């Protein structure tokens, strides 16, 4: 119901959002340091849980460990398959302090890890171990953000289930700080050129090696200013920007090259689920039809 989708104005928690973004990058890079490579970097995202976000199990020298953000009790928990546990309280603290404590707790558990301390996909970034600028944590808004992720993850999973072709998990990319799911046509894509801060072009080329229709949700950080859903195609087929979409609040942002649907338009709709599914279906149809995907072979009927 509409009341299950929390209000999430970015202005009310922008500093906390920026800090949390960097904390998730610390944790995500720990997963990256140990997880085996999977196509399109699917080994690096985090996943929504009933309490927050998780790395899922990470392999380590014949054992495993996982790191969980708990946005109900506001703590970070590191657990190993050999029974080790470390808990870190989440509250106002700098990125440098967070980084130092997380790495120290890993060492105490025998989980030696080295990561590149430069944040990615963030302009004018400060290395984690030097960042005393970002230090905010508002537990109420972090909890709201997670509760929004729970709703989005649920609807995205329904949308994902109706695709028979190659489709990504619903996963949280800590670089861009968004929850996303991606469908693939099955065809290779032209080489992508990109200029993403602190991210080699080869990284994005791996992510976009094949044709995609991708959708996601992010809270509006990075200059956009408000929580929103996004949907795009790579490569973008001719006529994509002018394709009919639903609901009425959807619009094409030429600077981003994406169809945007404000989060508030979904949250305030009589049926948020129906509004979001309409958006996902119609923007995917624009990509698939104009891109000449074999939809009959790639889709299953809703049930």
Q: Does the residue 59 lie in any domain?
A: yes
Q: Does the residue 56 lie in any domain?
A: yes
Considering the domain architecture, whether residues 169 and 244 belong to the same structural domain is answered as: yes
Q: What is the model's pLDDT at position 132?
A: 98
C-beta neighbour count of 212 within 10 angstroms: 23
Considering the domain architecture, whether residues 209 and 126 belong to the same structural domain is answered as: no
Q: Does the residue 18 lie in any domain?
A: yes
Of 111, 130, 149, the one marking the end of a domain is: 130
Q: What is the model's pLDDT at position 194?
A: 74
Considering the domain architecture, whether residues 180 and 230 belong to the same structural domain is answered as: yes
pLDDT digits (tens, 9 = 90+) for 15-54: 999 999 999 999 999 999 999 999 999 999 999 999 999 9
Q: Does the residue 4 lie in any domain?
A: no
Where on the phi/psi map is residue 239: left (φ > 0), alpha (ψ -120 to 50), or beta? left
Model-level pTM? Answer: 0.96
Q: What is the model's pLDDT at position 204?
A: 87
Q: Does the residue 258 lie in any domain?
A: yes
Structure tokens, 100: 């130092």
Q: Phi/psi at 248 (nearest 5 deg)?
A: -60, -30
**Which residues contact residue 296 at a Cβ distance below 8 angstroms, ignoring those fewer than 6 apart?**
none
Considering the domain architecture, whether residues 281 and 224 belong to the same structural domain is answered as: yes
Of 130, 153, 169, the one marking the end of a domain is: 130
Considering the domain architecture, whether residues 122 and 143 belong to the same structural domain is answered as: no
What's the domain count of the chain?
2
pLDDT digits (tens, 9 = 90+) for 141-152: 999 999 999 999
**Which residues contact residue 283 at a Cβ distance below 8 angstroms, ignoring those fewer than 6 apart?**
213, 215, 231, 243, 245, 250, 259
Residue whose pair of structure tokens reads 């849980």 in the numeric block: 49
Angle in degrees, CA 177, 182, 161, rounded to 5:
115
Q: Which domain holds residue 156?
A: 139-298
Instruction: Tell me which residues of the chain have a pLDDT lower than 70.
Output: 2, 303
Considering the domain architecture, whether residues 184 and 100 belong to the same structural domain is answered as: no
Report how far residue 170's alpha carbon sits from residue 120's, in angstroms, rounded to the nearest whole number. 21
Considering the domain architecture, whether residues 250 and 191 belong to the same structural domain is answered as: yes
Report how far residue 154's alpha carbon sits from residue 289's, in angstroms, rounded to the nearest whole number. 26
Q: Does the residue 110 lie in any domain?
A: yes
Q: Does the residue 60 lie in any domain?
A: yes
Q: What is the model's pLDDT at position 2?
A: 66
Considering the domain architecture, whether residues 124 and 144 belong to the same structural domain is answered as: no
Q: What is the model's pLDDT at position 49?
A: 98
Considering the domain architecture, whether residues 120 and 153 belong to the same structural domain is answered as: no
Considering the domain architecture, whether residues 203 and 283 belong to the same structural domain is answered as: yes
Considering the domain architecture, whether residues 152 and 255 belong to the same structural domain is answered as: yes
Q: Does the residue 5 lie in any domain?
A: no
């Amino acid at each position: 119901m509409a009341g299950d989708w929390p209000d999430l104005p970015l202005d009310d928690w922008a500093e906390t959002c920026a800090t949390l973004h960097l904390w998730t990058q610390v944790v995500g890079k720990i997963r990256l340091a140990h997880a085996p490579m999977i196509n399109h970097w699917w080994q690096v995202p985090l996943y929504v849980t009933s309490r927050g976000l998780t790395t899922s199990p990470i392999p380590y020298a014949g054992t495993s460990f996982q790191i969980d953000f708990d946005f109900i009790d506001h703590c970070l928990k590191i657990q190993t398959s050999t029974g080790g546990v470390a808990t870190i309280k989440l509250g106002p603290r700098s990125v440098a302090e967070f980084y130092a404590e997380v790495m120290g707790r890993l060492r105490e558990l025998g989980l030696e890890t080295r990561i590149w301390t430069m944040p990615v996909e963030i302009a004018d970034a400060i290395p984690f171990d030097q960042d005393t600028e970002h230090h905010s944590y508002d537990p109420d808004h972090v909890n709201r953000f997670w509760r929004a992720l729970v709703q989005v993850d649920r609807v995205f999973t329904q949308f994902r289930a109706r695709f028979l072709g190659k489709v990504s998990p619903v996963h949280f990319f800590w670089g861009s700080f968004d929850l996303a799911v991606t469908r693939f046509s099955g065809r290779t894509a032209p080489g992508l050129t990109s200029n993403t801060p602190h991210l080699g072009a080869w990284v994005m080329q791996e992510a976009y090696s094949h044709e995609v229709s991708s959708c996601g949700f992010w809270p509006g950080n990075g200059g956009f200013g408000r929580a929103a859903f996004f949907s795009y195609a790579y490569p973008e087929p001719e006529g994509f920007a002018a394709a009919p979409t639903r609901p009425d609040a959807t619009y094409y942002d030429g600077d981003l090259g994406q169809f945007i649907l404000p989060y508030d338009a979904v949250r305030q709709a009589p049926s948020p689920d129906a509004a979001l599914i309409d958006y996902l279906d119609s923007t995917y149809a624009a990509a698939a039809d104009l891109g000449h995907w074999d939809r009959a072979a790639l889709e299953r009927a809703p049930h």
